[in-house]
């Protein structure tokens, strides 16, 4: 009897520990990201049915495979102590730099750009720029949280600047201006959280304004043009949407028509006409322009639900940043928020005519494995930060 009582006690202890462990998780994050991934699969399936090609029809299946793998990675990072990653962040950063360099040497040129590495023999495409966003966040968080590190010293500012500039230039050369520019807001958010003084912020903004003005004049007078012709046309078309409706401005114009035609409740999933009739660029309608498809088929109501889910995700991550007393964890959570905020704003704004057309995906909704893998890694780390928010830290 004593043996049975002891066995029952151990069993109860196991369930109690499991219950306490599960209570540590941030279920707002879990709910938001699961809902976004589900919406993504539904509309990737919808666009596949409308486009009708074999590649498009199978896209939702490949997306599900990426989601299953990424959830496993998320669970792994969520269960571990994120602080064990700190000694490895320098290694991750330099591996990502090497991958970016490898893309420029070995990457195939697709539509005039070298952005991917082909993994043989599977044939899967890896986009190192997506991995770089996460590795840069971890690297900056490690540096800025180091004992005695003061961001307001000139040599430390230079170190941070070089750390951001190196991947920025490698990605811009591919060329992938959209992904390279994403590195700037996420870095700025982390640096601001690290306590950069306001006078340096004002100086930096003023310097950036001068550089941007000089670059605009440089491109306008074609003194030493840095932008490719298609990149310049994207900017000019954004400033003047009716500049070239038959060519450069066509995609964004049709995307805006799709958004506006959805009305309050939309035309129904799979019933959108802009994508079915080929007015949206069908090769990227499940990626760059998926928000247009969502807006047309689910209307204002569906878009509102989508935006609400993103706001929940941002809230959960910023809450994690405020709750943890660990600077390393706080900077990671803020940096990941910066990625998702910039991606979602630019992608939605692109379809609504608020931002220029770029190849940035809508987080967890657009088709694409590289971004989902890196994003779920980052979310798993944020979940680990939330779970360890009550731990004692030695500074």
- Residue ranges of alpha helices (H) inside 145-269 are 154-172, 177-193, 198-221, 229-239, 250-261
pLDDT in tens, 188-223: 999 999 999 999 989 988 988 898 888 878 777 777
Confidence at residue 392, expressed as pLDDT on a 0 to 100 scale = 67
Residue 13 scores a pLDDT above 80: no
Confidence at residue 393, expressed as pLDDT on a 0 to 100 scale = 58
Q: Collect all residues with Cβ–Cβ distance below 8 Å to 156 and sequence separation of at least 6.
A: 149, 150
Average pLDDT of 358-376?
89
Q: How confident is the model at residue 8 (pLDDT cuts 50, 70, 90)?
A: low
The Cα-based distances of 365 to 60, 228, 275, 389 in angstroms read 11, 29, 17, 29
pLDDT in tens, 78-136: 999 999 999 999 999 999 999 999 999 888 887 777 888 887 766 677 888 989 999 99
How far apart CA 178 and CA 287 sit, in angstroms, is: 14
Confidence at residue 395, expressed as pLDDT on a 0 to 100 scale = 46
pLDDT in tens, 301-347: 999 999 999 999 999 999 999 999 999 999 999 999 999 999 999 99
**Is there a contact between 26 and 323 (Cβ–Cβ < 8 Å)?**
no
Residue with tokens 């803020």: 334
Cross-strand bridge partners of residue 126: 117
Q: Collect all residues with Cβ–Cβ distance below 8 Å to 321 and sequence separation of at least 6.
A: 193, 329, 330, 333, 334, 337
Query: Could you tell me the two tokens for 281?
Result: 């660029």
Q: How confident is the model at residue 253 (pLDDT cuts 50, 70, 90)?
A: confident
- pTM (two decimals): 0.89
How far apart CA 7 and CA 19 sit, in angstroms, is: 19
């Amino acid at each position: 009897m004593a043996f049975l009582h002891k066995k029952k006690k151990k069993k109860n202890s196991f369930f109690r520990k499991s219950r306490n462990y599960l209570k540590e998780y941030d279920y707002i994050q879990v709910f938001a990201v699961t809902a976004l991934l589900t919406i993504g699969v539904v509309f990737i399936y919808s666009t596949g049915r409308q486009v009708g090609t074999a590649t498009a029809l199978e896209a939702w299946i490949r997306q599900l495979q990426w989601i299953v793998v990424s959830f496993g990675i998320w669970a792994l990072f969520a269960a571990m102590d994120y602080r064990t990653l700190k000694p490895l962040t320098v290694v991750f950063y330099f591996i990502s730099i090497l991958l970016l360099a490898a893309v420029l040497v070995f990457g195939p040129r697709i539509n005039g750009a070298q952005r991917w590495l082909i993994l043989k023999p599977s044939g899967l495409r890896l986009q190192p720029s997506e991995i770089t966003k996460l590795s840069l966040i971890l690297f900056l968080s490690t540096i800025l949280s180091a004992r005695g590190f003061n961001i307001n010293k000139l040599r430390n500012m230079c170190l941070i600047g070089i750390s951001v500039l190196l991947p920025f230039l490698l990605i811009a050369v591919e060329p992938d201006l959209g992904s390279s520019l994403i590195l700037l807001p996420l870095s700025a958010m982390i640096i601001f959280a690290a306590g950069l003084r306001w006078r340096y912020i004002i100086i930096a903004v003023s310097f950036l304004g001068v550089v941007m003005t000089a670059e605009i004049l440089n491109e306008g007078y074609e003194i030493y043009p840095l932008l490719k012709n298609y990149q310049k046309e994207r900017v000019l078309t954004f400033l003047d949407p009716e500049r070239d409706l038959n060519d450069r401005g066509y995609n964004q114009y049709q995307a805006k028509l799709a958004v506006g035609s959805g009305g309050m409740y939309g035309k129904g999933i799979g019933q959108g006409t802009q994508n079915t009739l080929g007015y949206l660029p069908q090769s990227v309608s499940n990626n760059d322009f998926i928000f247009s498809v969502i807006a047309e088929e689910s209307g204002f109501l569906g878009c509102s639900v989508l935006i609400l889910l993103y706001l929940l995700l941002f809230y959960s991550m910023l809450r994690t940043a405020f709750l943890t007393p660990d600077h390393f964890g706080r900077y990671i959570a803020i940096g990941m928020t910066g990625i998702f905020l910039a991606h979602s704003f630019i992608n939605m704004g692109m379809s609504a005519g608020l931002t220029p057309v770029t190849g940035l995906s809508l987080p967890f909704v657009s088709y694409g494995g590289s971004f989902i893998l890196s994003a779920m890694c980052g979310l798993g780390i944020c979940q680990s930060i939330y779970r360890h928010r009550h731990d004692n830290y030695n500074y």
